[in-house]
Amino acid sequence: MKHYFYLLGFSFLVFFIISCSSKEDISELPENDVISSEVPPIYSKIYNASDIYLEGDFVVIEVNGVPDHNSPYFEEEDSRNIAYDGVNNNFNLNPNRIITTANYTYKIPLEPSPTSSPRPTSLGSIGVAINGVAFFNQYAGPNNQPLTNEINSFDQYNGHPQQQGVYHYHIEPTYLTASKGNDVILGFLLDGYPVYGPFENGNRITNSDLDEFHGHAHITDDFPNGTYHYHITDADPYLNGSGYYGAPGTVTQ
Task: Give yes or no for residue 139 having a pLDDT over 70.
Answer: yes
Lowest mean pLDDT among 30-39, 51-60, 63-72: 30-39
The confidence score (pLDDT) of residue 72 equals: 98
Mean pLDDT of 145-156: 96
pLDDT at position 32: 65
Q: Nearest 5 degrees, angle CA 35-CA 40-CA 44?
A: 45
- Report the pLDDT value the prediction gives residue 34, as an integer from 0 to 100: 80
Is the pTM here over 0.75, yes or no? yes
Taking 60 as the threshold, does the pLDDT of residue 23 lie above it? no
| pLDDT, average across residues 124-130 | 97
Q: Which amino acid is at 166?
A: V
Please give the pLDDT value at position 35.
87
